[in-house]
Amino acid sequence: MADDRELLARVAAHDEAAFRRLYERYATRVFCYALTILRNRHLAEEVVQDTMVAVWEGAATFKGSSRVSTWIFGVARNQAHALLRREARGARTANEPLVLPDPAGQVERAERVRSALERLSPQQREVVFLAFYEGLSYQEIARILGVPEGTVKSRMYHAKRALAEVLA
């Protein structure tokens, strides 16, 4: 099984099979991440498509100084924020509630967590998603968000406190 770096190198050479495999690995993850930012399923789906097109077109620009996942989530974040800017100038709004997948099937618990996540600021929700759902380090999250690592730690601290209060 090819690792992400190998797949991305093949995508840079316009290998469609490698792109399909990379798409299969990341589309759902990018969708969930975009949903934490946009809070709208349709807009998140649009970001997945925009992100994967950008990955196809920009694979050769990957410098290798981070994990491929960090790079792809950075692309997704840029796409989501560009979409938010376009939406702010347009007519649509992003008011659909946050929906995260529930792989364990514990619907009641998942609903409590979703409700608790809704109470976080968008910045806190984004940090929580990247850390807990994607398993990224604070350093990687800081790189994606373009903020100092201390800012990521602060956002996570406040998010954990808020979640603990709501879920207790």
Q: In order of start, what are the domains of the chain with their CATH numbers?
A: 1-96 (1.10.1740.10), 99-168 (1.10.10.10)
What is the token pair recorded at 109? Answer: 């618990």
Token output for 57: 């077109």
pLDDT value at residue 91: 45
The pLDDT of residue 61 is 95
pLDDT attached to residue 99:
47
Q: What is the pLDDT of residue 88?
A: 80
Question: Could you tell me the mean pLDDT of each successive run of 10 residues in the chain, 168 residues long?
Answer: 91 95 96 92 93 95 94 96 85 46 52 82 93 92 95 94 83
- Specify the pLDDT at position 104: 41
Q: Is the pTM of this model over 0.85?
A: no
Tell me what pLDDT residue 32 has. 93
